[in-house]
Amino acid sequence: MVEVNGSYDGMSGRRALVTGAAGGIGGAIVEVLSASGVAVAAVDRDVDGPADEGRWFGKVVAHRADVSDPDQVEEVVDAVERDLGPIDYLVNCAGILRPGEVLGMSDEDWLDTIRVNATGVFLVSRAVVRRMVPRRSGAVVTIGSNAAGTARVNMAAYAASKAAVTAFTRCLGLEVARYGIRCNVVAPGSTDTPMVTALWTGGDAERVSIDGSLESFRTGIPLGRLARPADVANAVHFLLSDQAAHVTMHDLTVDGGAALGH
């Protein structure tokens, strides 16, 4: 079970929608929220209703949906509000990573990355926040990346998509602050998840991530380890909670110092 840091008693009984719930970070976010008594709608293209709900503790309902499809987004948000009740928290965690140099990148890889990572955040946020506005409350956290502000070799599409959703989330937060709705970003660095480990082609790849690589202009990780999904989930947990009641439009980097504080 993911360790919950701190007291979040006020979260019990509230409802959350988490996209990308089948992934390493998304799954950890579902777990940390459900452990706090939050009823969670776990949304992903790769979940299968009751067959997947048993992987989490607490009240978790799995919904299959493609976040880049406007019709599916509206349908799943309607279903969640009908079955669980009004959504208090949204976590945009769905994402894909298609590495490659710009000059060799296919149109499909570029468009798919923007479609899922950026358009998906727009569609889900719009659908959920529209419903939060009349209630004059809610909190949104979007999973960005430290690559949004730091150039990375072979990561142009991913970095561009994360820069887009970082700016989008801040702008959304500004527009809906008058309704008491908070919008923040959590920006992980290298995290021990299948998305990241799939990029490792050699036995020393994890070490290179930690130590850095002069050849690829990449700094290492000052704290000396990859992030765990729980590290990111606990940051999301805090920003959703009432402990962060006066925090909005903030970008919280969780990368062990890899971006040197930027």
**Average pLDDT of span 33-38:** 96
Cβ pair 90, 17 in contact under 8 A: yes
Q: What is the pLDDT of residues 118-157, one digit of tens each?
A: 999 999 999 999 999 999 999 999 999 999 999 999 999 9
What is the pTM for the complete model shown? 0.92
Q: What is the pLDDT of residues 201-247, one digit of tens each?
A: 665 667 777 888 888 888 899 999 999 999 999 999 999 999 999 99
Cβ pair 251, 185 in contact under 8 A: yes
Q: What is the pLDDT of residues 89-98, one digit of tens each?
A: 999 999 999 9
Residues annotated catalytic, as ranges: 158
Annotation: CATH topology of 12-253: Rossmann fold (3.40.50)
Give the span between the Cα atoms of 176 and 74, in whole angstroms.
Answer: 20
Compute, in degrees rounded to 10, the torsion defined by CA atoms 145, 150, 156, 160.
60
In the prediction, which pLDDT does 159 show?
A: 98
In the prediction, which pLDDT does 252 show?
A: 98
Query: How many degrees, rounded to 5, is the angle at CA 233 between CA 24 and CA 95?
Result: 45
In the prediction, which pLDDT does 58 show?
A: 82
Residue 82, Cβ neighbours under 10 Å: how many? 8
